[in-house]
Amino acid sequence: MGSIGKYTIPSAIKGVRVSQLLQIEDERGAVLHMLRPGDDPVVVGEIYFSIINPGRVKAWKLHKHMTQRLAVPAGKVRLVLFDGRADSASRAKVEEIILGRPHAYYLAIIPPGIWYGLQNISAEPALIANCADREHDPAEVDELPLASDTIPYAWKEALP
């Protein structure tokens, strides 16, 4: 019962913003905030969900123009970021962020130019909501395989 307030979590990568989202719980369930009019940026281009099965990884992707706004209302995931921007103060930095209720029900905002991947680290299907700032366009997406010389990070995929 009760609610958890809003605060910001520091990120090692310039332009990435992670903040606590409100959760209002009662005996029937909960109401979970995701995006409200006061939020910046407010433009919503497309809203979709990604389901990841336990142990599985979806990686790597980089958007040249799209800003991702992610929250994880079910399950728990490891979000891994790699700063691929040539002109960034945090260039080539890697960061891991855990997302999931109740203690890490966060809004994670990922600007363009960041490689990112997600692994479900819970025993149930994880649900990632994305309120992107523009419509999906395959032409603005770069992809790399899980194992790549570009990104110094080793995924440990746990296959069933």
Give the interface with a second copy as residue ranges (CB under 8 A). 27-37, 44-53, 56-58, 73-74, 120, 125-127, 129, 131, 135
Q: Shortest approach of a second copy to residue 102 CB, angstroms?
A: 11
Residue with Cβ nearer a second copy (12 or 19): 19
User: Which amino acid does the sequence have at 31?
Assistant: V
Q: In the complex, what is the shortest distance from the CB of residue 125 to a second copy, in angstroms, rounded to a whole number?
A: 7
**Residue 13 CB burial class (10 angstroms; 0-12, 13-18, ≥19):** buried
Closest CA to 101 of 119, 127, 82: 127
CB of 141 to a second copy, least distance (A): 13
Asked whether the CA dihedral 17, 103, 119, 39 is positive or negative, the reply is negative
Report the residue number, 14 or 33, with the smaller CB distance to a second copy. Answer: 33
